[in-house]
């Protein structure tokens, strides 16, 4: 009888441990299983290197949503942004892919606009800025630059 009780508590302990592990995995992977509400808008970037599903979307450093999906469309990156309820974006808002610090993770930064019209759920954010291509910039700097007059 005592052995059965002991085994029951071991089992319970294991089950709680597995649940905690699952909860932490979900949190770490930033899956949005429990996120409810909000709406989606899409944005097309010429380059979204480093961005992934679950990356944060911020305005002024405050999280306002997460990247839901990234797909290739017409050789460009179509990114579905899931925004929190209550967040409204003007038609001329701009989405830029930025890096947290010098080598940190990528996130989407939104700069609010001033247009009277707002982007409806399912709408498109037309103003986008791709991820900074450091290698490309260095190669242009080494090879030459249009802003320098020809000798």
Partner 1 sequence: MKRIATIALVFLAFVGTAPAVSPLEEVKATTEKILLVLKDSKMQGEEKKSERRKLVRDEMEKRFAWEESARACLGRHWIKRTPAEKAEFVKLFSEFLKDTYSDKVATYYGDLEKVDYQGEKIQDDYASVKLVLKTKAKVDHPLEYRMEKASDDWKVYDVVIEGVSMVKNYRDQFDAIIAKSSYEGLLKEIKAKQPVKP
Q: Give yes or no for residue 144 binding partner 1 (CB under 8 A).
A: yes
Residue 67 β-bridge partners: 81
Q: Report the residue number, 32 or 92, with the smaller CB distance to partner 1.
A: 92
Answer yes or no: are the C-beta atoms of 103 and 55 closer than 8 Å.
Answer: no
Contact pick of 84, 96, 98, 99 for partner 1 (by CB under 8 A) = 96
86: tokens are 């209550």
Question: Which of 112, 120, 122, 138 touches partner 1 (CB under 8 A)?
Answer: 112
Is residue 46 at the binding interface for partner 1, with CB under 8 A as the rule? yes
For residue 22, what are the contacts with CB-CB under 8 A and spacing of at least 6? none
Tell whether residue 72 is a contact of partner 1 (CB under 8 A): no
Q: How many CA atoms are closer than 13 Å to the CA of 25, on its beta-carbon side?
A: 6
Q: Around Cβ 60, how many Cβ atoms within 10 Å? A: 9
- Considering only the stretches 17-25, 29-37, 100-108, 119-127, report the one whose residues sit in contact with partner 1 under the rule CB under 8 A: 119-127
Residue 120 · residue 88 · CB < 8 Å = no
CB nearer partner 1, residue 33 or residue 74: 74
- Is 150 a binding residue for partner 1 by CB under 8 A? The answer is yes
Antiparallel, parallel or unpaired: β 106-111 and 56-59:
parallel
* 32 or 96: CB nearest partner 1: 96
Interacting residues with partner 1 (CB under 8 A): 46-47, 74, 92, 94, 96, 111-115, 124, 126-130, 132-133, 137, 140, 143-147, 149-150
């Amino acid at each position: 009888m005592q052995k059965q009780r002991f085994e029951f508590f071991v089992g319970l302990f294991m089950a709680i441990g597995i649940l905690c592990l699952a909860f932490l995995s979900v949190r770490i992977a930033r899956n949005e299983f429990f996120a409810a509400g909000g709406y989606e808008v899409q944005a097309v970037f010429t380059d979204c290197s480093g961005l992934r599903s679950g990356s944060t979307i911020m305005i002024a450093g405050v999280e306002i949503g997460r990247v839901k999906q990234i797909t290739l469309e017409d050789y460009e990156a179509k990114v579905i942004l899931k925004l929190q309820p209550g967040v409204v974006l003007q038609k001329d808002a701009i989405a830029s892919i930025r890096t947290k610090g010098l080598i940190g993770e990528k996130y989407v930064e939104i700069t609010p606009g001033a247009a009277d019209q707002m982007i409806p759920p399912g709408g498109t954010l037309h103003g986008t800025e791709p991820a900074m291509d450091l290698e490309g910039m260095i190669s242009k700097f080494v090879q030459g630059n249009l802003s320098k007059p020809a000798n």
